[in-house]
Chain A
């Protein structure tokens, strides 16, 4: 007897989890985008409009925040709740690779995050007078940032001793992304710079910011996306490990 292949399993988990996401579509579609657009509006009055690097960072950071809200916060909650209700037993007793469960669940949430990221990036580019040409970068940025933050979200949700702690950890993670991705490295206190370098979303926000500048720095974009991709692989592997561990406890 054999099970489905990785891609088939991933697609089926996606279909099953998307049913859950549909129930939560209002916060996913609106809260995530409204939160980031609100930050853009708030900062518009204080950000020096002459500094293109700062403007691009604010827009890129706010866009990645939408991904963080969904992948870190909501996914940590979802996995915490699946563990608490025994819903993980369903997947644990099926011949489904744990990576398919983590990826399929993450992808179902990411689907609802896509409109929010587009709205935030377009509104931000218009509001902060940045070129729209670099917005194609949203595709790799959302993919890699989504995968790496989803891996961490799954890890938090599956390792937290109680679902409430998973929620708190997810929210703290999102707050870290909010401060560390929106503020450019040069404006941060020296002490916080290593922390910024250790947060995976930084590289996604920096890649998007480099592409949104009036004169894009493509070498920097390539390096940041490369780091993002590696972190995404590691985070998903850790998420899969945490799921296997949760199955047996």
Chain B
């Protein structure tokens, strides 16, 4: 029955996807209310009648592969792009009528730091804080705190454009946190970060949510990030929301399946009946096979592989519980560029 329900969802019904609305009784109102949001880029329908509610104090994620329409959506949330149809309300006010109000309530981190490339990290953070209305003294204090919080002290005097990709991203995150906006919209904030810096960013975001009720809208195509930090996640594909719920509830939809990963030493042993049976369903990436299988079938296949002739040809194997990537694929998502690391 569960399988049928997911297949229905992959048919992309015209109505809103369940879970896209937020119960204000559970929080303290809506940060964003999005209705029928549609935006075209030439002939491409980048956002196709999106309906979403994002509550105040939520850490809300937009997950999807490249080209799913995530950046187009967030640029409309911060007033940088006008929708062709539909509306976005920010804290109760219509952004399509007053796009300028977003700059007073929202801090936005674009996909790269082109505007700050020539500035030293400290100056970039401090001037951004001041451009958000902080006094000189407040901006200096905020900059000191942020540089320490994100462990940027060794980089504080270095030019942003001369840093490595990950360091530059971290400096960008520091600028977006400067000025304590109640809503943060971050387009792939942890791209290129090492695991340590990534955790520092997640902690910084969580601290703001806990202490100040900050709302965070976070674009990602990293499944691990989505599962680790998000309260709710909307899965986008081809400009539409194909699912929206907590990561846990979304994963429960595919809980009858597991992911079996097989890595071959060289060529897979196709003479083996188990290997031959799995081959048509495997997503092949070099020497790696990836399969989504019912739990019992995966367990039996692995038992046969590890006790039979194929075992000698195997370099590595894993059996893992479903991730949001499996949810995405089960819902009909076709792209294979979601990150797992």
Contact = CB atoms under 8 A, between A and B. Distances in A.
Contact of B127 (A16, A86, A247): A16
Task: Give the most central of B102, B103, B115, B116: most A CB within 10 Å.
Answer: B115
A188 interface: no
Contact of A248 (B82, B111, B114, B124): B82
B128 interface: yes
Contacts, number: 89
Contact of B133 (A2, A82, A91): A2
A88 to B, nearest CB: 8
B132 A95 contact: yes
Nearest to A15: B127
B99 interface: yes
Interface of A: 1-4, 8-9, 12-13, 15-16, 19-20, 22-23, 82, 85-96, 247-249
Contacts of B132: 1, 3, 94-95
Given A16-B116, A86-B110, A88-B115, 5 more contacts: A3-B104, A12-B130, A87-B115, A92-B80, A249-B81
B104 A20 contact: no
B94 interface: no
B156 to A, nearest CB: 15
Give the size range of B's interface with the partner.
Answer: 35 or more
Given A89-B108, A89-B110, A95-B104, A4 B80 contact: no
A93 B103 contact: yes
7 contacts: A2-B133, A3-B131, A16-B127, A88-B115, A90-B114, A90-B116, A248-B81
Nearest to A90: B115
Contacts of A12: 127, 130-131
B112 interface: yes
Contacts of A89: 75, 80, 108, 110, 115
Nearest to A24: B118
Interface of B: 75, 78-82, 99-100, 102-108, 110-112, 114-120, 123-124, 127-128, 130-133, 181-182
Which DSSP category, helix, strand, loop or mixed, fits chain A's interface?
Answer: helix
Task: Give the most central of A1, A9, A85: most B CB within 10 Å.
Answer: A1
Given A1-B104, A86-B112, A248-B99, A23 B131 contact: no
A247 B118 contact: no
A96 B129 CA distance: 12
Which 9 residue pairs are nearest across A and B when measured between Cβ atoms?
A90-B115, A87-B115, A93-B108, A87-B114, A85-B114, A19-B118, A95-B103, A1-B104, A20-B118
A96 B82 CA distance: 19
Contacts of A13: 131
Nearest to B116: A90
A247 B110 CA distance: 13
Given A86-B114, A87-B115, A96 B181 contact: no
Given A4-B130, A248-B80, A86 B111 contact: yes
Contact of A15 (B110, B114, B123, B181): B123
B106 A94 contact: no
Given A86-B110, A86-B111, A93-B79, A2 B118 contact: no
